[in-house]
Structure 1
């Protein structure tokens, strides 16, 4: 309507020269008002979008918390020896379908406790040459090992010679992503290894009944024939030491059936309106007032990149 008034003013200008200056001034005022109206419209639309996104974030955060609470409850509701090493469930809440999957961190290789042969075998399973894999494993051991008293620190000297601006931690990995800092391991190989490593299991053995094939292949003493036979029978094996040991053979020394207290929980939320969100956390089960503690968290629910149309890759 403001633009129509401006047009009418222009038409009137042709018929009334005496009032021309007044009409020109009025015209500029109307044009300015039209610009302000357009800016206000853009602002209102932008504000509405931000409020909508903030609402989606808040709802996602609440649903993620609900998923973690339920996962912790399901895991803690049974004695530890009977605790499921992995599982999944779903529920509906707040106009959304929430899917929760959990798995024991014992199914991964712990960077802080795994032996050099196990680490080397993992890199071989991921495609590294055996001689290179051994070097990569030794660098991991060097990163996590404290230097000796009054002894030359050969590991630190390697980093200084390489020209990097940091030195090995000389202690436990704080998180799996720290593997990217270990000297000479190719970044692409680190990326490949990330789904198979952890710093939260707290043990040198892995749960062979739940571990991915790449992790089972990393067990010292494992051969290709033994691996093939074990994977073929794994689904039918009972969860007891005798059954597993009989199939693993010499690799059984690095296997465990202890599920542990650390679990990785993946939560996916599909909103009825077509939005999707996802988050991943590692929790440590406890007791008393704090039934669980969050050890690691991917805060994807606070990132707009995680709020996408349903059906698009996360």
Structure 2
């Protein structure tokens, strides 16, 4: 009888232990689900703030008062929305290098600036031209379908214009690091073979062959005090470099939001009008945090949503 009672006690203890384990597992699961819900809510909040930053910047680009209007030359603006810090950088797409129109020299120049390797830059420029042209003829140092297969890739060059700047990351020889550095400097929306120097990112100007860095520093500082694209600043004549005056067709925006749950970075291309038309939209990793760049104006506090 004592033996049976002892056995029953062991069974009871095992049942209690099993129930305790189930309860602990359930409690852990509940806490995990709660943390997941909080993380998802925080991510949605960061994303919504980034979208609000784009909408506000697009609105400020249309302001008739030049003193209030956001400059589209790479300037960074600070916003505060519902206790979230937002940084928005605006660049007119006319100031960037068009992947579908730029000639080999301009492509090679921007890639040499980023890689510091002229031979690699020449090969990449040829591969970009082979990607966008309509034939299957391989350029010297370029890349066509056979080269992609030999590299173990399961795709071929499009032999058509780039649909988006992100597509350049598929070009043979491009690395993730180089792609992220190149994306803020290129476009598919200007339709121009050259650049608008009054709107170009500083890195694009520095990449131009024969451009003096000291001149670029002074030029960028001087143009920030003028209406973008208004002219009036002297530019050196650079062999093989085409300048144009196209402005306002499309705007690239980099947005970074900082909150308790971390950072959120977004890149978009918009065409302002009665509403905002999005031409491109992607979550991204910016080459440099916008919070490390100087501000073009004092911080703007936006009203919290109802």
Please confirm whether the aligned pair reaches a TM-score higher than 0.5, indicating the same fold: yes
Deviation at 1:46, TM superposition (A): 0.8
| 2:36 aligns with one of 50, 53, 59 | 50
In the other structure, the counterpart of 2:133 is 145
| 1:284 aligns with one of 238, 255, 270 | 270
Distance 2:255 2:175 in 1: 31
Superposition TM-score, scaled by structure 2 size: 0.73
Q: Which runs of 5+ in 1 are unaligned?
A: 1-12, 148-152, 301-310
Distance 1:109 1:286 in 2: 21
RMSD: 3.5
Query: Does 2:110 align with 1:125?
Result: no
| 1:28-53 Cα shifts (integer Å, max 9, x gaps) | 22112111111111111111111111
| 1:183-206 Cα shifts (integer Å, max 9, x gaps) | 456776555534422323332222
1:72-111 equivalent positions in 2, closer than 5 A: 72-78=58-64, 84-86=71-73, 87-111=75-99
User: Contact 2:93/2:250 (CA < 8 Å) preserved in 1?
Assistant: yes
Distance 2:282 2:174 in 1: 25
| 1:261 aligns with one of 244, 249, 256 | 249
In the other structure, the counterpart of 2:304 is none
Distance 1:50 1:43 in 2: 10
Which of 41-50 and 291-300 deviates more? 291-300
User: Contact 2:127/2:143 (CA < 8 Å) preserved in 1?
Assistant: no
User: Contact 1:230/1:247 (CA < 8 Å) preserved in 2?
Assistant: no
| 2:25 aligns with one of 11, 32, 39 | 39
Superposition TM-score, scaled by structure 1 size: 0.72
Query: Does 2:97 align with 1:114?
Result: no
Distance 1:19 1:214 in 2: 83
- Number of corresponding residues: 274
**Structure with greater helix share of residues:** 1
Query: Does 2:14 align with 1:23?
Result: no
Distance 1:236 1:19 in 2: 93
**Bigger radius of gyration:** 1
Distance 1:41 1:109 in 2: 55
Greater relative contact order structure (CA < 8 Å, 6+ sep): 2
Distance 1:181 1:89 in 2: 32
Change in CA separation of 1:187 and 1:155 when aligned onto 2, cut-off 3 Å: farther
| 1:168 aligns with one of 120, 145, 157 | 157
